[in-house]
Structure 1
Amino acid sequence: MSGDSKIGPVGGVIRTTPVRKIAGSADTANAAASRTATSDTVPGARLIRLASDLAAQAPPVDTARVAALRTAIAEGTYTADAKNIALAMLRFAQGRTA
């Protein structure tokens, strides 16, 4: 293709990376394994993998606190502070955490 002399040639796309294979090819598993190994060297890929791993973990639970609350509820000694609950609900609705 021809182009404007001020801009340069138009068209002629040059590929700097190899063409990706379509899923379903014979070596998809091998490609995924090599992609995982090489993507860990990129800082952004590491952060994404770390975030994914953290999201997959169960949240930490203070089992002693849960047991104490269950006991207090069962005995009828637990009292909820309506004011604090309402304030926490308002903060949550407003998008604040503190």
Structure 2
Amino acid sequence: MSGDSKIGPVGGIIRTAPVRKIGGGADADGAARTAASTTVPGAKLIRLAADLAAQAPPVDSARVASLRTAIAEGTYSADAKNIALAMLRYAQGRSE
């Protein structure tokens, strides 16, 4: 073991449980396993996250078009007080 005197020794990790293999390998009776036959919640979450990341974000095209038109015509006005309050609620973690 080696380490920095300020943080103490580094290393010496003790494994309390056996390493679990995901996919491949063989069962106790010697039958081969595949990654698809093993249920792993973490793998499902990763797949779900990747699927969601690949999707385009939801956009209200009609609302975007109306806002662009209002801005171009100079008729769009923003309510600074409501925007500031919404920003404060967001920063505080509230969604009211």
**TM-score, with normalisation over the residues of structure 1?**
0.54
Q: What is the 5 A alignment of 1:22-61?
A: 34-35=34-35, 37-38=36-37, 41-61=39-59
- Determine the structure 2 residue equivalent to 1:71: 69
Shift of 1:61: 0.7
Instruction: Give the aligned length.
Output: 69
Shift of 1:90: 0.3
Q: Which has the higher contact order (CA 8 A, sep 6+)?
A: 2
More helix per residue: 1
More strand per residue: 2
**TM-score, with normalisation over the residues of structure 2?**
0.55
Q: CA RMSD in A?
A: 2.9
Runs of 5+ consecutive residues of structure 1 not aligned to the other structure: 1-14, 21-33
Q: Which runs of 4+ in 1 moved over 3 A?
A: 15-18, 41-44
